[in-house]
Structure 1
Amino acid sequence: MTQTPGPDRALPLPATLRTGVVVGNPKPASRTYQAALHLAERLAGRAPDLTVDLAEYGAGLLDWSDAATAEAVAGVAALDLLVVASPTYKASYTGLLKVFLDRFQSDALAGVVVVPLMLGAGPGHAMAPEVFLKPVLAELGAVLPTRALYLLDSSYDDPAAYEPWLAASQDRVLAALRRPASPTL
């Protein structure tokens, strides 16, 4: 079933708004990556402008002088809408994602609308993105207009799995993207 745009929804987003995904799964092109792409496309009405699959960065993530990682950090900070995704490892997000997020200065994501997304094997970790991932994104200054999304990894490729979250949250994400940036004091 295709959801029709509501009064506050304008799909696709203007081409001037930059969207992206960051995926902290150690496996390249993982289910987490596919889920993040799907969510970003549903929110923006088009493919993301930037995809950062951290599995491709290897040891460069630990090298503070690595140009590719620095470019990824700068690219992410310049986005308007970002999906940050991780599988659930030990009831939290991956160390790979943590290493990447540690590269950002405090408030580096100020003004960026961010949707935290985590996949897990069972419902027992459904609060992990709210409890562990969302606070670190808030510390980086991200605009977090909705609750985080947790999906069972067995349903990452089922569009219906996203529908309850989209129905409750898509309008708030789009409204946050339409707000003018707050003036800096």
Structure 2
Amino acid sequence: MSAQQSVLLIAGSPSEQSRSSALLDSISHRLALRGGLVVDRLNIRELPAQPLLLAEWGHPAIVKAIDQIARAKAIVVATPVYKAAYSGLLKVLLDLLPQSALKEKTVLPLATGGSPHHMLALDYALRPVLQALAARHILPGVYATDSQVPQAADKRYEVGPEITVRLDDAVLTLLAESFRLPPPTTGFEPVHFSRVRCSV
């Protein structure tokens, strides 16, 4: 499958299980329903810490991560919001990228935070960095509060109904902008909570 039909999901949470990763899992499920797309995933927390922090561009894991980004036509990046900014883990990766790393790419940002007050982190912290990396089109982001992605009894996170609807719309926009794909005639298959629980 060519890069023109590929989507890369970037998980910026340092935690194995997180609300932002739950959003990313939900997006992944929706993309898989369409078929015909290559959906890849980059969990930044799995990259080796030393070469990531010391900007060792020649390290095989770093080379692979940058190549994943280069080959994708569309990018979905998910991050928790800490102190009104995206995660430090995501920042370290973005700082490693070439200035034109997102050229000709459509980017969908996702974020989670403790309260609605952190919503502006998408526009005032993350979006300028994505623009600086020459993203062709940055879609309106989806921000979810803790209460909108509650934790179940088994400690996994579930995407609530309000955010589910917004993710449906975000994926349709991503497909239309990146691949000129029309919306499905019957809409997305209903997604039960048990199918969108976080598993990084």
The TM tier, using the shorter chain, reads 0.7 to 0.9
Q: Does 1:24 align with 2:12?
A: yes
Q: Does 1:61 align with 2:62?
A: no
3-state SS in 1 of match to 2:111: strand
Superposition pairs of residues 75-94 of structure 1, within 5 angstroms: 75-94=68-87
Task: Please report the TM-score for the alignment, with normalisation by the length of structure 2.
Answer: 0.72
3-state SS in 2 of match to 1:50: strand
Gaps of 5+ in 1: 1-13, 180-185
Residue of structure 2 in register with 1:160 after alignment: 161
Q: What percent identity do the matched residue pairs reach? A: 31
Closer, same or farther: CA 171–51 of 1 in aligned 2, 3 Å: closer
3-state SS in 2 of match to 1:158: coil
Closer, same or farther: CA 168–37 of 1 in aligned 2, 3 Å: closer
Task: Please report the TM-score for the alignment, with normalisation by the length of structure 1.
Answer: 0.77
Equivalent position amino acid for 2:45 in 1:
A
Bigger drift between 75-84 and 155-164 goes to 155-164
3-state SS in 1 of match to 2:16: coil
Q: What is the Cα deviation at residue 103 of structure 1? A: 1.1
Bigger drift between 43-52 and 149-158 goes to 43-52
Closer, same or farther: CA 37–121 of 1 in aligned 2, 3 Å: same
Gaps of 5+ in 2: 150-157, 181-200
Quick one: which of 83, 105, 109 aligns to 1:112? 105
Superposition pairs of residues 33-72 of structure 1, within 5 angstroms: 33-43=21-31, 45=33, 49-57=39-47, 58-63=49-54, 64=56, 65-72=58-65
The structure with higher relative contact order (CA 8 Å, sep 6+) is: 2
Quick one: which of 93, 118, 133 aligns to 1:125? 118
Determine if contact 2:105/2:136 at 8 Å carries over to the other structure.
yes
3-state SS in 2 of match to 1:118: strand
Cα distance in 2 between the residues matched to 1:29 and 1:69: 23
Cα distance in 1 between the residues matched to 2:100 and 2:3: 25
Cα distance in 1 between the residues matched to 2:168 and 2:44: 29
Equivalent position amino acid for 2:84 in 1:
A
Q: What is the Cα deviation at residue 135 of structure 1? A: 1.3
Equivalent position amino acid for 1:80 in 2:
K
- Alpha-carbon RMSD: 2.5
Residue of structure 2 in register with 1:177 after alignment: 178
